[in-house]
Amino acid sequence: MDYFIELFFSGLTRGSIYALIALGYTMVYGIIGLINFAHGEIYMIGAFTALIVSTVLTIYGFPLLAVFVLTALAAVIWAASYGYTIERLAYRPLRSAPRLSPLISAIGMSIFLQNYVLLAQTSDFQPFPALIPEFDFMEPYAHIVGSSDLAILVVSAIVMILLTFMIKFTRTGKAMRATAQDRKMAMLVGINVDNVISITFIIGSALAAIGGLLIASHIGQINFYIGFIAGIKAFTAAVLGGIGSIPGAVLGSFILGLTEAFATGYVSSDYEDVFAFSLLVLILIFKPAGLLGKATVEKV
């Protein structure tokens, strides 16, 4: 039973990280119908910024709590700025271009950002300080679920609840939903669509940065390539749940995380990714729009 619970928490941890990244994918897709391949790189940049800021602050002798808060803040601010800039530079000029052009632009951006970080910092793996402390009350359970797993679960749950509130009840949230439903109509009722898109990128990037910060602190090392792998998985999760749907992205992420954990635990981690992708194909065969995605009927 312990083993089952251990795997379950391992799956939840993975799932929460995927969810934090997948939300960015799904929100952007919902609004402009673009697979933002550079999103994984935002997650990586968030983690790198966190590493840089926390190292500098530690060297200058800031107390641990201040380091943690300022690091999180910096990671979120810079990742959001990168997200915003990427949208302005690489996607906005292509609003009216053929459907595949922004996709290529996104792939190019992803390659560019990876190499930018590689050149600006280093290609080696860098140790990441454990920003999340080991909680004493978790010690009896440390062999099943670690303190950082718990922190990841709690933080991502809080973030997701906040996001849901924002989208459901604030003016911005309503504008976002309106834009996602029908961009032209939203423009007609006086919504500044360009601003809404920018805000979507900013929020998505901030979430990814939180994910990057948490996972880097959990696993203890980062390099320029971490965004690519995590990005592909998160994207898979978003599609699994129905891309464009926010609850779908969260559901898809947890399903993917749990599948991977249980496949590793009870079968073999050799085929971990094969399980993940096969699950995706299977679900899409029976529900072509993902689990919570709406099947659109096209009318002529």
- Which CB sits closer to other proteins, 187 or 232? 232
The span of 62-70, 124-132, 165-173, 178-186 binding other proteins (CB under 8 A) equals: 124-132
Residues 24-53 that bind other proteins (CB under 8 A): 29, 33, 35, 45, 48-49, 51-53
CA distance 228 to 147: 26
Question: Shortest gap between Cβ of 160 and other proteins (angstroms)?
Answer: 17
**Residues 126-145 interacting with other proteins (rule: CB under 8 A):** 126-129, 142-144
Token digits for 183?
């961009």
Beta carbon nearer to other proteins, 166 or 282: 282
Residues of this chain, 210-239, that bind other proteins according to CB under 8 A = 215, 218-221, 223, 225-226, 228-230, 232-233, 235-236, 239
Select 31 or 113, whichever has its Cβ closest to other proteins: 113
19 or 175: whose CB is closer to other proteins? 19
Token digits of residue 66: 């201040």
How many positions of this chain bind other proteins (CB under 8 A)?
Answer: 108
The least CB distance from residue 268 to other proteins, in Å, is: 6
The gap between the terminal CA atoms of the chain, to the nearest Å, is: 55
The total of other beta-carbon atoms located within 10 Å of residue 90's CB is: 18
> Per CB under 8 A, which of residues 158..187 are in contact with other proteins?
none
Nearer to other proteins, 59 or 188 (CB): 59
Candidates 70, 121, 172, 193: give the one binding other proteins (CB under 8 A).
Answer: 121
Contact 228, 115 (CB under 8 A): no
Stretch that binds other proteins, among 61-69, 121-129, 158-166, 188-196 (CB under 8 A): 121-129
Distance of closest approach, residue 17 Cβ to other proteins, in angstroms:
5
Closest to 50 (Cα-Cα) out of 18, 77, 19, 22: 77
Please tell me whether residue 201 binds other proteins under the rule CB under 8 A: no
Please, which residue, 220 or 247, has the CB nearer to other proteins?
220
Asked whether the CA dihedral 128, 131, 136, 141 is positive or negative, the reply is negative
Q: Do 220 and 128 form a contact (C-beta atoms < 8 A)? A: yes
73-112 mask for other proteins (x: CB under 8 A)?
-x---x--xx--x---xx--xx--xx-xxxxxx-xxxxxx
Per-position x/- string for 1-20, each x denoting binding to other proteins as judged by CB under 8 A, each - no binding? --x--xx-xxx-xx--xx--
Contact 284, 239 (CB under 8 A): yes
- Return the number of the residue (28 or 175) whose C-beta is nearest other proteins: 28
Binding flags for other proteins, 261-290, as an x/- string (CB under 8 A): xx-xx--xxxxxxx--xx-xx--xx--xxx
How many Å separate Cα 177 from the centre of its chain?
Answer: 20
